[in-house]
């Protein structure tokens, strides 16, 4: 099947007729909703990339899939080489600097690669047939060029208690009933990036499950318009600016993110869509693999958004007439250095990737965790530097509504004049974009998600501690010093 373009994708989501609770109202026709539309447009970029005029860009998005024997969008691809892994990160950087926000489609790609190799391992050890099921399911996703939301994070309730010891066992998503042809699940997944812009969701356990927790070790896929699923839209800083009639104050005029609480109230999952059901050791393995792929992803997407922030900081410096000041140049160099360090991590964990027994490629786990741990820090420093370069006007600008007022407007233009040749309205546009990324709706993806998405810093520190090869380093030192 031909690869969809952005317009065809948006129509295919409208056809699903999803509904959500948004700011106190049950909303239908989501694709026309002012809070949702920018996030849908951001995902559409992942489709339009496959039709870009520039052949080099098209080549990033298009790849031949041995799974279905057709050319597919890379966002549905199972990586076949380290070159594929590098192209994935490069494509994510492209999407990041095109949209300046989260484009949401990576989670399903990362989940699919993790489920693919984990179901293979499980079948080899346990004699199950999950891998064949998943391959059949995913070939359909590739052929129909769909968006899949990877859903992992459970609410978790009291963090000091295991799933079965919670007052409410639904705080971890679980099987509540077993039927001849499938299972019924209850629970919720939080922080679901782009869920309402997806055709399907691939649900995974939130952590490694132990004996007695078999009902919580469940992995499956369902369409997003399945009966019993409810969506509650996430509120973000300054989000209602998207609903105002003057787009200048939004900051990012075309694109934005989306976060959704997803509730499963007795949702039936047919057997052929179940990819893990009670095989305990594979729940933890799946979590680790998915997390590592997504930690690699941040070495692309957040770098792309960083490109936007750096570009905006350099432009505002020019508009303010300070571009030649040495301390400004130095701050911009520092921003570039930090951003490219993140990209270097994304590329490094990709280049040192390896084939899994299932045949798809996995990143270097240690370096993927190092990548994401840096992502929990550097964007904050980039935001600090951009705030410094932009100046205090970032926090005090009058609104676009006053700009059009016959009395206030001319004063604003007169007193926000800056370097020769700079239109004060353009200056406001750039400052609003910076504001969006460091303190507005865009900061959700650029800062909060950099901290907590794909796991908080402690999760990466645990993995780095485990995989850092400390014993080997000690052994080397002992050998060097002739210590027995
Ligand atoms: Fe993709 Fe980045 Fe958004 Fe995750 S945070 S879905 S990696 S753009
Ligand atoms: Fe994320």
Give yes or no for residue 123 CB within 6 A of ligand 1: no
Is residue 301 within 8 Å of 96, Cβ to Cβ?
yes
Residue 363 alpha carbon to ligand 1 centre in Å: 17
Residue 453 alpha carbon to ligand 1 centre in Å: 8
DSSP 360: S
Which residue owns the Cα nearest ligand 1 atom 5? 102
Query: In ligand 1, which atom is closest to the CA atom of 96?
Result: 8
Give yes or no for residue 256 CB within 6 A of ligand 1: no
Query: In ligand 1, which atom is closest to the CA atom of 103?
Result: 8
Q: What does the domain layout of the chain look like in residue ranges?
A: 6-283, 294-474
Q: Report the residue among 258, 453, 454 best suited for mutation to probe ligand 1: largest number of ligand atoms under 8 A from its CB.
A: 453
| pLDDT (0 to 100) of residue 354 | 98
Distance CA 202, CA 138 (A): 10
B/e letters for 379-408, b = 16+ CB within 10 Å, e = fewer, are bbebbebbbebbbeebeebbbbeebeeeee
Element (H, E) at 183: strand 182-193
Mapped onto helix, strand or coil, the DSSP state of residue 261 is strand
Give yes or no for residue 104 CB within 6 A of ligand 1: yes
Give yes or no for residue 305 CB within 6 A of ligand 1: no
Residue 35 alpha carbon to ligand 1 centre in Å: 19
DSSP 397: P
Residue 314 alpha carbon to ligand 2 centre in Å: 27
Tokens of 310: 């750096």
Q: Residues 59-80: pLDDT tens digits?
A: 999 999 999 999 999 999 999 9
Nearest to 312 by CA among 255, 382, 417: 382
Nearest to 197 by CA among 51, 31, 72, 47: 31
Give yes or no for residue 449 CB within 6 A of ligand 1: yes
Distance CA 265, CA 276 (A): 20
> How wide is the angle at C-alpha 202 spanned by C-alphas 95 and 28, nearest 5°?
75
Give yes or no for residue 106 CB within 6 A of ligand 1: yes
Average of per-residue pLDDT values in the chain: 97
Mapped onto helix, strand or coil, the DSSP state of residue 129 is coil
Residue 232 alpha carbon to ligand 1 centre in Å: 20
Q: If you search the block for the tokens 């990737």, which residue do you land on?
A: 353
| pLDDT (0 to 100) of residue 69 | 97
Residue 439 alpha carbon to ligand 1 centre in Å: 19
Asked whether residue 178 carries a pLDDT value surpassing 70, the answer given is yes
Query: In ligand 1, which atom is closest to the CA atom of 193?
Result: 6
Residue 374 alpha carbon to ligand 2 centre in Å: 15
Which residue owns the Cα nearest ligand 1 atom 7? 297
The catalytic residues are: 102, 106, 193, 259, 294, 298, 301, 449
Asked whether residue 58 carries a pLDDT value surpassing 80, the answer given is yes
Q: Residues 345-372: pLDDT tens digits?
A: 999 999 999 999 999 999 999 999 999 9
Of the ligands numbered here, which is closest to the C-alpha atom of 109?
1
Q: Is 0.95 surpassed by the pTM of this model?
A: yes
Q: Residues 370-415: pLDDT tens digits?
A: 999 999 999 999 999 999 999 999 999 999 999 999 999 999 999 9
Q: Residues 326-345: pLDDT tens digits?
A: 999 999 999 999 999 999 99
| CATH number, span 294-474 | 1.20.140.10
Of the ligands numbered here, which is closest to the C-alpha atom of 107?
1
Report the CATH fold assignment for 6-283: Butyryl-CoA Dehydrogenase, subunit A; domain 2 (2.40.110)
| pLDDT (0 to 100) of residue 245 | 82
Which residue owns the Cα nearest ligand 1 atom 8? 102
Q: What is the mean pLDDT of residues 143-167?
A: 97
295 band by pLDDT with thresholds 50, 70 and 90: very high
Which residue owns the Cα nearest ligand 1 atom 1? 106
Give yes or no for residue 297 CB within 6 A of ligand 1: yes
> How wide is the angle at C-alpha 94 spanned by C-alphas 385 and 77, nearest 5°?
135
Residue 319 CA, distance from chain mean position: 33
| pLDDT (0 to 100) of residue 1 | 67
Query: In ligand 1, which atom is closest to the CA atom of 449?
Result: 5
Is residue 205 within 8 Å of 277, Cβ to Cβ?
no
Q: Report the residue among 445, 447, 450, 452 best suited for mutation to probe ligand 1: largest number of ligand atoms under 8 A from its CB.
A: 445
Give yes or no for residue 197 CB within 6 A of ligand 1: no
Tokens of 265: 């109230």
Asked whether residue 246 carries a pLDDT value surpassing 90, the answer given is no
> How wide is the angle at C-alpha 220 spanned by C-alphas 229 and 166, nearest 5°?
70
Residue 443 alpha carbon to ligand 2 centre in Å: 13
């Amino acid at each position: 099947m031909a690869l969809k373009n952005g317009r065809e994708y948006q129509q295919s989501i409208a056809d699903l007729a999803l509904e959500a609770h948004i700011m106190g109202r049950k909303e239908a026709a989501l694709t026309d909703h002012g809070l949702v539309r920018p996030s849908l447009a951001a995902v559409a970029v992942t489709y339009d990339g496959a039709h870009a005029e520039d052949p080099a860009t098209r080549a990033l998005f298009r790849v031949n899939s041995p799974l279905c024997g057709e050319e597919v969008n890379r966002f549905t691809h199972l990586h076949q080489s380290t070159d594929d892994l590098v192209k994935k990160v490069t494509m994510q950087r492209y999407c990041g600097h095109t949209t300046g926000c989260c484009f949401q489609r990576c989670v399903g790609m990362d989940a699919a690669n993790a489920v693919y190799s984990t179901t293979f391992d499980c079948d080899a050890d346990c004699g199950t047939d999950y891998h064949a099921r998943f391959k059949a399911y995913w070939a359909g996703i590739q052929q129909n060029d769909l968006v899949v939301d990877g859903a992992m994070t459970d609410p978790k309730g009291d963090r000091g208690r295991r799933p079965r010891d919670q007052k409410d066992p639904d705080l971890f998503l679980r099987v509540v009933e077993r039927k001849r042809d499938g299972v019924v699940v209850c629970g919720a997944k939080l922080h679901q990036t782009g869920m309402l812009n997806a055709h399907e969701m691939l649900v995974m356990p939130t952590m490694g499950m132990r004996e007695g927790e078999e009902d919580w070790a469940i992995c499956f896929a369902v369409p997003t318009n399945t009966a019993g699923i409810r969506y509650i839209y996430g509120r973000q800083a300054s989000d209602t600016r998207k609903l105002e009639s003057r787009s200048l104050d939004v900051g990012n005029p075309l694109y934005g993110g989306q976060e959704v609480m997803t509730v499963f109230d007795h949702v039936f999952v047919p057997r052929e869509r179940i990819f893990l059901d009670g095989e305990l050791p594979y729940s933890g393995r799946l979590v680790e693999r998915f997390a590592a792929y997504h930690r690699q992803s941040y070495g692309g997407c957040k770098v792309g958004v960083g490109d936007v922030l750096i570009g905006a900081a350099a432009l505002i410096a020019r508009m303010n007439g300070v571009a030649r000041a040495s301390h400004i140049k130095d701050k911009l160099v520092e921003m570039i250095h930090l951003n490219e360090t993140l990209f270097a991590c994304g590329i490094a964990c990709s280049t040192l990737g390896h084939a899994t027994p299932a045949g798809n490629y996995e990143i270097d786990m240690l370096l993927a965790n190092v990548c994401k741990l840096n992502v929990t820090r550097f964007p904050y420093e980039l935001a600090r530097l951009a705030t410094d370069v932009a100046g205090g006007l970032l926090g005090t600008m009058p609104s676009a509504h006053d700009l059009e007022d016959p009395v206030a407007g001319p004063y604003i233009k007169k007193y926000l004049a800056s370097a020769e040749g700079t239109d004060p309205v353009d200056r406001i546009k750039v400052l609003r974009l910076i504001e969006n990324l460091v303190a507005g709706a865009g900061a959700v993806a650029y800062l909060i998600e950099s901290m907590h998405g794909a796991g908080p810093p402690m999760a990466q520190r645990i993995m780095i501690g485990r995989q850092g090869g400390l014993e080997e380093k000690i052994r080397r030192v002992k050998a060097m010093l002739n210590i027995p």
